[in-house]
Amino acid sequence: MTPFAEAVRKLRARKGVTQKQMAAALNVSPAYLSALEHGKRGVPSFDLLQRISGYFNIIWDEAEELFLVAGSSDPRVVVDTSGLPPEYTEFANRLAKRIRSLDSDDIARLSALLENGGKVDGKAS
């Protein structure tokens, strides 16, 4: 499941609607909406994001958050390391091969490292 899917499921639960009901209201197929929620489709279009925001009648801040989450929910990420030193390409490939074996603590540590600009506990790594 993608972060976008999780956000949409919470919105659907809050409104008490099924995927099928939401799909009909948005004029998309239930299969497409299901694939989107299960990470089998890429990032939704801007138009669809606007329709989802309107359907749930969410305020601007919440809609903006939904758009941001959608932008970071592409399940098929491409990391372009062209022009970077070889160790960057090696790292990207190793991460791609091992991502499924990382546990939530590993992901949290890597996320913290990225959020802190490569610093661990305020120290450059």
Its pTM surpasses 0.75:
no
Alpha carbons 21 and 12: distance in angstroms, whole number: 10
Phi-psi region of 29 (alpha: psi -120 to 50; beta: other; left: phi over 0): beta
pLDDT in the model for residue 75: 74
**Whole domain around residue 66: which residue ranges?**
3-71
Q: Is residue 104 part of a domain?
A: yes
Q: Is residue 37 part of a domain?
A: yes
Q: Is residue 111 part of a domain?
A: yes
Helix (H, G, I), strand (E, B) or coil at 77: coil
pLDDT in the model for residue 76: 78
Q: Is residue 22 part of a domain?
A: yes
Task: Return the closest-CA partner of residue 52 out of 61, 43, 44.
Answer: 44
pLDDT in the model for residue 88: 93
Confidence of residue 36 (pLDDT cuts 50, 70, 90): confident
Q: Is residue 81 part of a domain?
A: no
Tell whether the model's pLDDT for residue 32 goes beyond 80. Answer: yes
Q: Is residue 115 part of a domain?
A: yes
The verdict on 108 and 67 lying in the same domain is: no
The verdict on 39 and 92 lying in the same domain is: no
Can you point out the beta strands (E) in the chain?
119-120, 123-124
The verdict on 66 and 35 lying in the same domain is: yes
Cβ atoms of 102 and 40 closer than 8 Å: no
Q: Is residue 77 part of a domain?
A: no
Between 82 and 118, name the one with better pLDDT. 82
Tokens of 68: 């941001």
Number of domains in the chain: 2
37-89 confidence digits (pLDDT tens): 887 887 889 999 999 999 999 998 999 999 999 888 877 788 899 999 999 99
77-100 confidence digits (pLDDT tens): 888 999 999 999 999 999 999 999
